[in-house]
Amino acid sequence: MDEEPAHLARFVRGELDAGLFPHREHVRLGFEMLRRHDFVTSAYHYSLALRAMTARAGKPGAFHQTITIAFLALIAERLEAGPVADFLVFEQANPDLMDPRVLARWYRPERLTMAAARRTFVLPDAAR
């Protein structure tokens, strides 16, 4: 039986512990959500679930809308390249996504630290 849909459902319901949610899990659950839903639906539900998780952990300021949407967009773009059997295959084909600093290719640090970038999605730096 595939455990991924159940794990994804627990994430959406707010049943996962933020302390046990490293970057790789962010990418994995984004991957699983995007395999099942279109980008807009995934972005909405993923953002809600992650925002709720950080609030339950007592760290509502840890939620970052730009980073969330940017990573989901990268995952979605990579999934458009062709079908992927599972997350391990996706991870091996996209090791750069396992590095939380990969967004530095498109964003200057000061852009990501803007208060507005936490609240809403901001586009990457035009001059990058």
Mean pLDDT of the chain: 92
pTM: predicted TM-score of the whole model, two decimal places: 0.92
Domain positions in the chain: 4-119
- In one letter, which amino acid is 32? E
CA distance 81 to 92: 14
Helical H segments across the chain, by residue range: 4-13, 23-36, 39-56, 65-79, 87-93, 109-112, 115-119
pLDDT tens, position by position, 15-24? 888 888 899 9
pLDDT tens, position by position, 33-72? 999 999 999 999 999 999 999 999 999 999 999 999 999 9
CA distance 2 to 40: 25
